[in-house]
Amino acid sequence: MTEQKYNDVAALKEQPNVPCPPAKDLHPLMKEPLVRMTKRGVVTTKHKAVVYVVGFFLALLVGALMLLAVGKNPLIAYRDMAVGSFGTAIASAETVRIAVPLLIASVAVGFAFKMKFWNIGAEGQILAGAVACSYIVIHSINNGNYIPKLPLHLIMVIFAMIGGAWFGFIPAFFKTQWGTNETLYTLMLNYIAIQYIVYLQSLRTWQDPRSSYPKIVDFSTFTEGKVELPRLFGVHVGWIFALIIAIIAYFYLTKTKHGFEISVVGDSMNTARYAGMNTRWIQIRTLLISGALCGFVGYLQVAGANHTLTETAAGGVGFTAITVAWLAKLNPFVMIPISIFIAMLQKGSLFIQSTMRIPASVADLLTGLILFFMLGCEFFIEYKLIFRRKRNVSRLEQKEVTV
Amino acid sequence: MQDAKPAINENVVQMQHICKSFGTVQALSDVHFELRRGEILSLLGENGSGKTTLMNILAGIYFPDAGDIFVNGKHVTIRQPKDAFDLNIGMVHQHFKLVEVFSAAENIVLGLPGKTTINRRALYKHVQEIADQYGFEIDPEKKVYDMSVSEKQTVEIIKALYRGADILILDEPTAVLTPQETDKLFEIMRAMKADQKSIILITHKLNEVLAVSDRVTVLRKGEYIDTVYTKDATIQSLTDMMVGHSVSLAIDRPTTTNVEPILMVQSLTALNQEGAKALDDVTFEANGGEILGIAGISGSGQRELCEAIAGLCPVIGGSILYRNIVDGYEVDENVIGLNPYKIAKKGIALAFVPEDRLGMGLAPSLDMVDNIMLKHYRENKGFFVDRKTPRQIAERLVEELQIVTPDVFTPIRQLSGGNVQKILVGREIDTSPRLLMVAYPVRGLDINSSYTIYNLLNEQKEKGTAVIFVGEDLDVLMEISDRILVMSGGRVTGIVDPRVTSKQEIGLLMLGQSIVM
């Protein structure tokens, strides 16, 4: 009896040891779960591209369904968005003007994210930069507008970058010193920056003397246009800086010792310590850079776009930049087209707001949908779903549904 | 007639034609498995042979791609761990799944259906009954965070028994135990066997297989090899089945001349990351041309000792003197308070293979070149990194150590454990160290890779390097080391000569009983 059972196993083993799929499939009585996921092995670039393209179109499709639900023709809406953002030279210039701060801010948060330092305070850092450079302008105005144009801009840039860097330094210092949570910290600093501007609006030296409403003076009028950035191809020259920053950032992250340190700290803090890196300084240094870039955005908003300081100077750029950085997988080069695309959505939605009376928040909706689907793509790149198969069908005919 | 009384050798579990793949990796292909009532069956195989995967299928954690499972003669589907519980199958995982802030008894009933309140007194009594029945020692009210590893394991086993498990799967249960604790566990296993429970022991330690089990099922690279009676097997025959070809199991211990101290640690006291005392008055010397083994139950301060020497763990007292050669003169330099970079800057050739390879020694998302660059990236001048030199080193290491990788630009977390370890050890040895510290260097490695590592350590020793080897397998430590330092609770309880010491003696030292030598 014993031997016989023992031999059973031996007999089973005698069957040719074929790799799966094996000689026998799942027993008919064995109920498979309805859906289960398994890891894919090798992922080809082609497969990745297909998943992303499908994900992108699915996002547009869901967006279209939502437009249909409110009774608008989605095809016309999408066409108008394209026309409204790139149909004319003026529209294109406006789109690029939206993309410029977005691109720089994305690069800035990308630096911190690469280190797994969740800096969601770009908004506040932008405002800090805007406040700092506005201070120079206000100072100049109140003292007889004495600073000439070029030095004015140089000082403004320096002040803006110091202002932004300061707002990057504070959370980094507290995190490295006492382990505070940088996400909450940077988020809260945003509100401090906003409320500080609200305070400045009613400050006698900053307020517009011609307005009883709390509002900061128009820099353009009071400096006789000195504060305005020159234009190139219809957009203020900030776009050139943005491109240069993206390119430098790419090389900084991939080719320099600093960039290498950022990668290692982001990957494993202990490994960085093991390699003798000064992890505290690396984090602070990177946040100084990240904050300074955001501060530079603040300068561009003041000198290039608004010519004054308002609490909406950042206008959500700091948050949208997080989306752009993720969609670009933290690659500064990829951030260029993505920030232009997001700007296109925003500009296009303003256009259809007037032509089709669709609220401009459709841009946020679409951005959210695209982000949602792109993040979903990650899952389908790494895993595949296997649905329960039908019984009594030869294995070759069975479908393995893969998305 | 036979129906009334189950046959003694009745199969309680039968698994046939089991297949399971993860991505392109075929973890199990056409595997068979049988377990009888009232037996202890060893499931033997190297790391990556699929033994844990097979048992995870039985415990409902994975679902097989194909195959049949019969429990007590009935065809069953096990889709989730609850299904396995319902079939009286319980698994004790290698990594315990306990809630630290709960007591033993609370962990045992956690997740079971019941009323909103717990009658603790009745619960404690029930737990105590199970413990007494098989000879466990347990305090049902003790919190898990206060427990030793062996106590936590006891809780896990009782948890399974409390849920009525008749079929118990133990995944490498002895990896964390001292020899004495292991013997005790084996006694309990025999008591459970006498109670007609069936036990599966997943292991790769052959002496344990021979000591406790009735039969052995061997898997190799996801394939079923054979099932044999333990009484017919020998260590050599099992190894050959496990590895697939004949292997020599002897580890060399070459004799060296010129044994002289390189590292002198005196009264070292250090804190761990939580700020508790992890090292207490540790004193020893490590000599060039010698392998100093460090034994101890995991968490006895081995990690902190290595990290303190490497400049990664805050030291509050004592000294670490490193005999450096500066301009031809021997200088004893105290490295306390220096970080790894400053230690390296002093010209101290120290190499360290930490326990947590991917968490400390390497950056898993980066490729091999960048990981090799980790130690050299400051060496060139200027702002930019030089990837040329590390690339050459990487390509040389791939060749010398037969590292299996698509290329040197593949993120190393995609490589197997053995290859990752070869990269780490290779990088460290490549710096021609005078002091080489390795912590659990063969953990998770197959036999061939393990022997490659042992040979590399012996090569270093013959070159005159002082090697410190923190290990968990006492048999290996006793074969390869020239001296063994035993730690318990952050203290040195003895430094012994493995040629004349017994395993039992080291076991006692590991439990903290200092012996006056």
Query: Which chain B residues contact residue A17 at CB under 8 A?
Result: 29-30, 223
pLDDT band of B2, cuts 50, 70, 90: very low
Return the bridge partners of B350, or none: B435
Number of Cβ within a 10 Å radius of residue A316: 12
Q: With bands split at pLDDT 50, 70 and 90, how would you rate the model's confidence at A12?
A: very low
For the record, the structure tokens of A76 come out as 């016309």
- Could you give the 3-state DSSP secondary structure of residue B467? strand
More confident residue, A248 or B474: A248
Contact B359 A271 (CB under 8 A): yes
pLDDT of A17 > 60? The answer is no
Mean pLDDT confidence for B7-33:
82
Please identify, among B380, B398, B431, the residue that sits at the C-terminal boundary of a domain.
B431
Is residue B423 domain-resident? yes
In a domain, B271, yes or no: yes
Query: Residue B489 falls within a domain, yes or no?
Result: yes
Same domain membership, residue B333 and residue B220: no
Boundary-marking domain end, from B397, B431, B465: B431
pLDDT level of residue A13 (50, 70, 90 thresholds): very low
B249 domain-assigned: no
Q: What is the pLDDT of residue B485?
A: 94
Same domain? B274 vs B162 = no
Is A276 part of any domain?
Answer: yes
Q: Is residue A62 part of a domain?
A: no
Give the lowest-confidence range in A340-344, A377-381, B30-34.
Answer: A377-381
**Would you say residue A286 has pLDDT above 90?**
yes
The percent of chain B in helix, strand and coil, each rounded to the nearest 5, is: 35, 30, 40
pLDDT given at position B467: 94
pLDDT tens across B359-379, in order?
888 999 999 999 999 888 888
Residue B254 lies in a domain: no
> In chain B, whose CA is at the least distance from the CA of A381?
B23
Same domain, B288 and B233: no
Give the number of other CB atoms < 10 A from CB of residue A60: 15
Is residue A257 included in any domain, yes or no? yes
Rounded Cα–Cα distance for residues B301 and B270 (Å) = 9
Q: Is residue B487 a contact partner of residue B296, using CB atoms and an 8 Å limit?
A: yes
Per-residue confidence at A390, pLDDT binned at 50, 70, 90? Answer: low
Give the pair of three-digit tokens for residue B56: 């995870």
Q: CA B259 from chain center: how many Å?
A: 30
Strands B89-92 and B74-76, by their bridges, are unpaired
To the nearest whole Å, the CA of A258 is away from the closest chain B CA by: 8
Give the count of domains, chain B: 3
Q: Do B385 and A30 touch (CB under 8 A)?
A: no
Last residue of a domain, one of B413, B431, B449: B431
Instruction: Give the model's confidence band at A280: pLDDT under 50 very low, under 70 low, under 90 confident, else very high.
Output: very high
Between positions 221 and 240 of B, the ones with CB within 8 A of A are 223-224, 226-227
Contacts 24+ apart (CB under 8 A), B94-98: B94/B52, B94/B171, B94/B172, B94/B175, B96/B152, B96/B153, B96/B155, B96/B156, B97/B156, B98/B144, B98/B152, B98/B155, B98/B156
Q: Is position B251 within any domain?
A: no
| CA gap B234, A269 in Å, rounded | 46
Range of the domain at B282: 261-349+433-510
State yes or no: cis peptide before A28, omega within 30 of 0.
no
**How high is the pLDDT of residue A237?**
83
In angstroms, the Cα distances linking A239 to A62, A93, A289, B178, B190 are 33, 10, 19, 67, 77
Closest CA to A298 of A287, A288, A286, A312: A312
* Residue B22 touches chain A, beta carbons under 8 Å: yes
- Closest CB to B30: pick one of A22, A274, A277: A22
Please check whether residues B173 and B309 belong to one and the same domain: no
Q: Which chain B residues touch A12 with a CB distance below 8 Å?
A: 16-17, 32
Whether residues B267 and B215 share a domain: the answer is no
More confident site: B322 or A28: B322
Residue B57 sits in the same domain as residue B205 = yes
What local confidence, expressed as pLDDT, does residue A32 receive? 62
Q: Taking a contact as any Cβ pair under 8 Å apart, which residues of chain B between 188 and 227 contact chain A?
A: 223-224, 226-227
> What would the two tokens of residue A108 be?
């800035």
**pLDDT at position A188 over 90:** yes
**Contact (CB<8Å) A257/B383:** yes
pLDDT of res. A11: 40
pLDDT of residue A31: 58
Q: Is B370 on the interface with A (CB under 8 A)?
A: yes
Q: Residues B401, B277: one domain?
A: no
- Determine the Cα angle at A317 with ends A314 and A321, to 5°: 150
Q: Provide the domain count of chain A.
A: 1
Mean pLDDT across B208-234: 90
Would you say A298 and A83 are in contact if contact means Cβ atoms under 8 Å apart? Answer: no
Q: Which pLDDT band, with edges at 50, 70 and 90, does A123 fall under?
A: very high
Helix or strand holding residue B71 (H, E) = strand B66-71
Q: How far apart are CA B355 and CA B472, in angstroms?
A: 11
Residues B409 and B489 in one domain: no
CB B509 within 8 A of CB B496: yes
Cα–Cα dist B510/B188, whole Å = 22
Encoded amino acid at B364, one letter: P
Contact in structure between B341 and A276 (CB atoms under 8 Å): yes
Is the Cβ pair A257, B377 closer than 8 Å? yes
Q: What pLDDT does A389 receive?
A: 61
CB < 8 Å to B75, chain A: 27, 29-30
Contact status of B339 with chain A (Cβ, < 8 Å): yes
CA distance A282 to A288: 10
B92 in any annotated domain: yes
What span, in angstroms and rounded, lies between the C-alpha atoms of A370 and A56? 6
Within-domain flag for A53: no
Q: Residue B482 has which token pair? A: 């020239």
Within an 8 Å CB–CB cutoff, is residue B407 touching chain A? no
Q: Flag whether A196 is in a domain.
A: yes
How far is the C-alpha of B126 from the C-alpha of B117, rounded, in Å? Answer: 16
pLDDT band for position A2 (cuts 50, 70, 90) = very low
Segment B122-135 mean pLDDT: 87
- Residue B323: which CATH number? 3.40.50.300
Contact B310/A278, CB-based, under 8 Å? no
Does the residue A169 lie in any domain? yes
Least confident of B84-88, B173-177, B332-336: B173-177
Query: Residue B39 pLDDT > 60, yes or no?
Result: yes
Is B516 a domain residue?
no
In this complex, do A23 and B17 lie within 8 Å of one another by their Cβ atoms?
A: yes
Measured in angstroms, the CA of B358 and the nearest CA of chain A are apart by 8
**Which residue range is the domain that position A226 belongs to?**
100-338
Q: And the tokens for A164?
A: 């932004």
Calculate ∠ Cα B189-B191-B194, nearest 5°: 110
A-chain residues near B223 (CB < 8 A)? 17
First to last CA, chain A: 51
Q: What percent of chain B has pLDDT over 70?
A: 97
DSSP state string for B178-221: -HHHHHHHHHHHHHHHHTT-EEEEEE--HHHHHHH-SEEEEEET
Residue A79 maps to a domain: no
pLDDT at A382: 77
The contacts of residue A157 (CB under 8 Å, 6+ apart) are A133, A296, A299
Please check whether residue A231 lies inside any domain of the structure: yes
Instruction: Indicate if ipTM > 0.85.
Output: no
Q: Please check whether residue B385 touches A, CB under 8 A.
A: yes
